[in-house]
Amino acid sequence: MSPGTWEARLRLWIVIDGRNALGPGKVRLLEAIAAGKSLSAAAKQLRMSYRQAWKHLRLVEERTGIAVVEPHRGGRSGGGTVLTPQGKALLKAYHEFHREVDEHARSACVRHFNRWFSPRVRE
């Protein structure tokens, strides 16, 4: 069987003092909070308990030293959680970091594996 399309795929973490401070899971949680302005809705969407979601946030904040969420002021529901300006900026920095490393990984993948896979048909 010959391979068709082939590419690099990666997962990327910021590790502080040897521990995961920000990676795919925590980023997804922050994105869900940014979209829904609610920690409980974000947790539900990601199929984790409120307690697990809260723990993830606490670990991000403890390990980075950055307050990433704050209570949602205003709004009809009268409660909720939003990203702080710093939390939004940190998320943006992660996305830019991820995009750059991902692009590099894809081009490096072609360079390192072209002789293995290129003769085969690519879609």
CA distances from 24 to 1, 17, 38, 65, 98 (A): 33, 18, 19, 19, 10
Query: Contact 69/83 with Cβ under 8 angstroms?
Result: yes
Q: Under rule CB under 8 A, which residues in 88-107 are in contact with its own copies?
A: 90, 93-94, 96-97, 100-101, 104-105
* Three-state DSSP state, 83: strand
Give min distance, CB of 61 to its own copies, in A.
9
Instruction: Give the separation between CA 89 and CA 22, rounded to whole angstroms.
Output: 13
Q: Under rule CB under 8 A, which residues in 64-83 are in contact with its own copies?
A: 64-66
1 binds its own copies (CB under 8 A): yes
Residues that bind its own copies (CB under 8 A): 1-18, 20-21, 62-66, 90, 93-94, 96-97, 100-101, 104-105, 108-109, 112-113, 116-117, 120
